[in-house]
Structure 1
Amino acid sequence: MSSVFILIAIIAFIVLATAKFKLHPFITLLLAAFLLSFSSGLPLADTAKTISDGFGGILGYIGLVIVLGTIIGVILEKSGAAITMAEAVIKLLGPRFPTLTVSIIGYLVSIPVFCDSGYVILNSLKQSLANRMKVSSVAMSVALATGLYATHTFVPPTPGPIAAAGNLGLESSLGVVIGVGLLVSAFAAAAGLLWANRFKHEQPDGEGAEELIEQAEAFEQMKQRYGVLPSTFNAFAPIFIPILLICLGSVANFPAAPFGKDTAYQLLNFLGQPLNALLIGLFLSFSLLKGANKLEQFSEHIASGLVSAAPILLITGAGGAFGAVIKATEVGSYLGMTLSGLGVGIFMPFLVSAALKSAQGSSTVALVTTSALVAPMLGDIGLGSEMGRVLTVMAIGAGAMTVSHANDSFFWVVTQFSKMSVPQAYRAQTMATLVQGVTAMVVVYILTLIML
């Protein structure tokens, strides 16, 4: 019983340190690993090695994949590819379904681009569409934000889901994670869209709402700054070709061996490994660059991507260290056996992740911490199979979007750019993320009934 209280105290420390004292999640998780080691009786001589091995182990599995995915996202953002992707969706759907259009745009763009950056890039486009189609800016803002948010928490190569998959030993099964993530996130995006449509006749009531007209006019100026935008194929290729290769690689490794075991299998197995697939995506992104100094631009974007990836890598590594200590002290397996008697199953990782997300604000921290915490317990609560672990990533992702409020940077990006007041943003954006998280978790539960 003392093990349970120790773990609860450690989780409380993580929440207090990150939410109240604003301590960086990297050092918080690292300190949590040491505290858990000391309080659980792990031999002092083994503490440093366990933490170091856990830190290096998770980054050895998934670190380069996070780096390459982040760099590709930076290049798509800086080259105007995200705008091309958005305009392709607009051409496909036309002006008939404005909120659906921006939701799909967000859903696609947030696979390679962080949702905060995606919202900033697409805000003026969203406002231009809202003015042109005579639709409420609030509804359009929430539809875009929830579309972005859906894939941000469920679909690799977004770093949070990749880190969670790595902690749960799914680094060689990312194709399955992507496939299930696309399905679950589609339901989450649809739920967010339906909530957004409740505000079709409500206008922003925050300070500076009159600036929305200027935002709409800024869209054309922004397009001009990008110059000639990439073609539709070139814009989508760096992210969707790697995703296709990863999925084909997973299919090639199915027990039925659909591609046999000869040349086709060997080729797809090689190209479908996440590191190899994303390296191909990085080379494809080179075609997005313009001008005579492409190599110089490429190097600058890589440097920028490395800067963006660094804190995510550190948090992921610290989460791996925390998970390694949990595994070494057997706290996790004890708690797993205790929870198995309660029958909470797949809802346990959801509740832990939702509590962490709501308390400290970061979806990535919630994904990393919860996955490290629950990894040793999965066998005891009936989720030790490959699909059980995949659905656990989805449950954690559902919790990691429940809910976005004042301690989340994304909440303030949406609020400030959409010119909603804070009370209005709580009704529109925060409630939308609650609806999304609960809907996604219901879908995950149904999938457990079908697949496990």
Structure 2
Amino acid sequence: MEVVHTAIAIVLVVGLIIWAKVDPVISLVIACLYLGLAAGVGFEGTVTAITGGFGEIMTKVGLLIGFGVLIGALLHSLGTFRKLVRALLSVVGAKRLPYALTGAMSTVFPSIYVDVQVVLAAPIARSSARHVGPRGLAHLAGAIGTGIFAGYVFVVPGLAAVTIAGILEIPLGTYMIAGIVLGPVTALLTTFLFGRLLRLGWWKPETDEAQDEPLDGDGVEQNTAGTGPGEGASRSDVDVPLPVALLPILVPLLMIAGGAFADLADVTNGFVAFLGNPNVALFVGLVGAYLLARAATGVERTDKALKTGFHTTGEILLITGIGGSLGAVIEATGLDQTLASLFSASEGAAVVTSILLAWFIAAVLHLAIGSVSVAAIAAAGIISPVLGSIDVAPLAIGLAVASGSMFALTVNSNFFWMFKSLLGLTTKGALKTMTLVTSMASLVSLPMVLVVAFLA
């Protein structure tokens, strides 16, 4: 019966979020309570599982998420990411801008929240589209969409990437090494394939692009203020050289990567472990970003940027923590043994079957719920209890969850409508860009995940 009750709990989450418009945090808690009580965990056991699961996942990723969001907020206040896009445009030229943009968004931009990314990138894309060609807006929109979410789920410190690694207990350095390859490769391949599709007549500007006011000469849309978490940030770039402004991102990544490579080389001591610890690394990045912001913008604007980051952090931490609670309640029901049998197959097909099942669970949850992060958290929470029972590396399962959670971002996502508005697309145009490229990216990344599964 635990399978039936778990299915009802998932349907309950989906129904509450989509049809009743209930906040995901409240929906997930209700589902946890139903599952625990209906499956016989008991009153005390259910509460213990919910609080214990919340605390356990916060121990793993709470500081990482908080530090990562705050770094992004501070760098946003410095104009770092806008400078990066402009630098790419000047170096590669307009024709190669879709590839440069998606590459940057899948490697550097994951340090800031997805809503801020699209607010920053959309005006640049719209002002540059005419230089790319007749299908320029479509190609750039697709590049932005795939770059944002390939980075978000695969590349540390993308919040979905950090959360998946934490729930499935994958060393963050290990996930980072695999993700820094899968994320950009997925984004670049998808952008290339999408560009080929555009050449075949997929895009119809008269029906896919909205007719609205043009942008100003600097590529800044006149009405973007207040459209997302970036509200209140300065419109003028602060005079901090781009290489210096990127140090709060690059230094932590080098520290984490150094720790991962030290483990691989069997170089273990307390000092190396300390420097390579992801919490320490991201805190170093946060201190660096804070000092840069204080020096360049002053105390008042730095505090304002931090307040924006704290506001975003609270929501993310609650959803992430309740996702951990769901996993703990599922484990308490004994469903792990049942799920373990689903992940079992003939010896030769066990790896493929397990990867496809993990991908499928995440994809279905995303289609139903409309949130990449909630789908990834829920899928990881469902699968985590059975990891010890299947003969597949947790890294591969985590990457499969990441791949599936991208699948088909569509009209039940708030991000979809922000993307549509900021890029100047019709609903049809947003479906033909955002929904299509996230579906393509999910499918493009799946074979690479299977390769990792066989090699890990």
TM-score of the pair, normalised by structure 1: 0.90
Return 209-218 or 188-197, whichever deviates more: 209-218
Alignment partner, residue 106 of structure 1: 105
Matched, 1:417 2:427: no
- 1:338 Cα shift? 3.5
Kept in 2, the 8 Å contact 1:50–1:325? The answer is yes
Alignment partner, residue 228 of structure 2: none
Matches within 5 A, 1:220-259: 225-254=235-264, 256-257=265-266
In 1: Cα distance, 2:310 partner to 2:215 partner: 34
Matched, 1:374 2:383: yes
In 1: Cα distance, 2:216 partner to 2:209 partner: 11
- 1:109 Cα shift? 4.1
Could you give the per-residue CA deviations for residues 299-327 of structure 1, whole angstroms, max 9, x where no partner exists? 32222211101111011111111111112
Kept in 2, the 8 Å contact 1:245–1:268? The answer is no
Amino acid at match of 1:370: A
User: In structure 1, which of residues 270, 283, 287 is the aligned counterpart of residue 287 of structure 2?
Assistant: 283
Kept in 2, the 8 Å contact 1:354–1:402? The answer is yes
Kept in 1, the 8 Å contact 2:103–2:188? The answer is no
- 1:61 Cα shift? 1.9
- 1:68 Cα shift? 0.6
Alignment partner, residue 33 of structure 1: 32
Kept in 2, the 8 Å contact 1:204–1:421? The answer is no
Structure 1 residues 378, 334: closer, same or farther in 2, change over 3 A? same
Structure 1 residues 218, 100: closer, same or farther in 2, change over 3 A? closer
Structure 1 residues 82, 440: closer, same or farther in 2, change over 3 A? same
In 1: Cα distance, 2:344 partner to 2:150 partner: 30
Matches within 5 A, 1:1-400: 2-134=1-133, 136-170=136-170, 173-197=171-195, 198-199=197-198, 202=203, 204-205=205-206, 209-211=210-212, 213-214=214-215, 217-219=218-220, 225-254=235-264, 256-257=265-266, 260-261=267-268, 265-289=269-293, 294-341=298-345, 343=350, 344-383=353-392, 388-400=393-405
- 1:102 Cα shift? 2.1
TM-score of the pair, normalised by structure 2: 0.89
- 1:372 Cα shift? 0.7
Return 152-161 or 190-199, whichever deviates more: 190-199
Kept in 2, the 8 Å contact 1:337–1:377? The answer is no
- 1:131 Cα shift? 2.6
Amino acid at match of 1:303: K
- 1:163 Cα shift? 1.5
Return 436-445 or 188-197, whichever deviates more: 188-197
Kept in 2, the 8 Å contact 1:18–1:360? The answer is yes
Structure 1 residues 205, 153: closer, same or farther in 2, change over 3 A? farther
- 1:206 Cα shift? 5.4
Structure 1 residues 117, 225: closer, same or farther in 2, change over 3 A? closer
In 2: Cα distance, 1:217 partner to 1:89 partner: 15
Report the secondary structure of 2:205's partner residue: coil
Report the secondary structure of 1:141's partner residue: helix
Matched, 1:442 2:452: no
Report the secondary structure of 2:270's partner residue: helix
Amino acid at match of 1:118: Q
Q: Which runs of 5+ in 1 are unaligned?
A: none
Amino acid at match of 1:184: L
Return 329-338 or 360-369, whichever deviates more: 329-338
Could you give the per-residue CA deviations for residues 397-437 of structure 1, whole angstroms, max 9, x where no partner exists? 11111011101122222222222222232223211111110
Kept in 2, the 8 Å contact 1:137–1:203? The answer is no
- 1:216 Cα shift? 5.3
Report the secondary structure of 1:23's partner residue: coil
In 1: Cα distance, 2:237 partner to 2:57 partner: 41
In 1: Cα distance, 2:437 partner to 2:208 partner: 22
Structure 1 residues 38, 124: closer, same or farther in 2, change over 3 A? same
Amino acid at match of 2:160: G
Structure 1 residues 220, 304: closer, same or farther in 2, change over 3 A? closer
In 2: Cα distance, 1:399 partner to 1:266 partner: 37
Kept in 1, the 8 Å contact 2:53–2:321? The answer is yes
In 2: Cα distance, 1:216 partner to 1:9 partner: 53
Report the secondary structure of 1:281's partner residue: helix
Kept in 2, the 8 Å contact 1:164–1:368? The answer is yes
Aligned residues: 438
Structure 1 residues 292, 44: closer, same or farther in 2, change over 3 A? closer
Amino acid at match of 2:374: V
- 1:287 Cα shift? 4.5
- 1:47 Cα shift? 2.2
In 1: Cα distance, 2:248 partner to 2:287 partner: 8
Kept in 1, the 8 Å contact 2:145–2:433? The answer is no
Amino acid at match of 1:277: A
- 1:67 Cα shift? 0.5
Kept in 2, the 8 Å contact 1:111–1:151? The answer is yes
Q: Which runs of 5+ in 2 are unaligned?
A: 225-232
- 1:215 Cα shift? 5.3
Report the secondary structure of 1:439's partner residue: helix
Kept in 1, the 8 Å contact 2:77–2:302? The answer is no
